[in-house]
Homo-oligomer: A and B are copies of this chain.
Amino acid sequence: MTYSKAAGQAPGKRERLATAAAQVLHEQGVERTTLADIARAADVPVGNLYYYFKTKNQLVEAAIDAHARNLESMTAELDALPTPRERLKALLAGWVGQRELTVRFGCPTGTLAAELDKRTDGLDESVARLMRALIDWAEGQFREMGRADARELAVALIAAYQGISLLTNTLRDPDLMTAEGARLARWIDSLA
């Protein structure tokens, strides 16, 4: 009988805390989120957070990593699709599917990027890496489609997503995301 880890232990507690942090930080913003908020969301005493993360910044960093893992698993799923065009359109579909969340809180990566840019600690670089990973993946798809301007197209695509996420959120209108998703799908289809 091997399961059950006993009390006082926790196999992936660090990850659990990071996930909770990622969610709360997305919902409330980094600056407006207190450690007490995160602790409450994860149902642990505040002091305990410090056993796993020496500072709030480290917790934010861990949340970024959690987003990175999400991104990886998402692209891994998409990579199972046969053609790059299908993959890109599935990405769009995913975005549109999340539109209600976007209405309320914006794109998790984008809002982090916007907020963390004002910082001088290393956090801005961490989120930049995350954003780059997303662009890189899209670039790979466009390249596989034979486009020489793959990088530019990838940047344009991700920018379009970030921008429409911001508008969807600011104007509280999920239909913006739907319409832009459809437009981008047509655009992808139109590419040679």
Contact = CB atoms under 8 A, between A and B. Distances in A.
A29 interface: yes
A98 to B, nearest CB: 16
Contact of A31 (B31, B132, B166, B183): B31
A88 to B, nearest CB: 16
Most B CB atoms within 10 A — which of A111, A117, A164, A183? A117
A20 interface: no
Q: Is the interface of A mostly helix, strand, loop or mixed?
A: helix
Contacts of A169: 113-114, 117
Interface string A104-138: 01100011011101100000100110011001000
Contacts of A183: 152, 156
A158 B31 CA distance: 27
Nearest to A29: B118
Q: Which of A114, A117, A155 has the most CB of B within 10 A?
A: A114
9 contacts: A29-B115, A31-B32, A110-B114, A117-B170, A155-B167, A159-B180, A160-B160, A160-B163, A162-B163
Interface of A: 27-29, 31-32, 105-106, 110-111, 113-115, 117-118, 124, 127-128, 131-132, 135, 152, 155-156, 158-164, 166-167, 169-172, 176, 179-180, 183
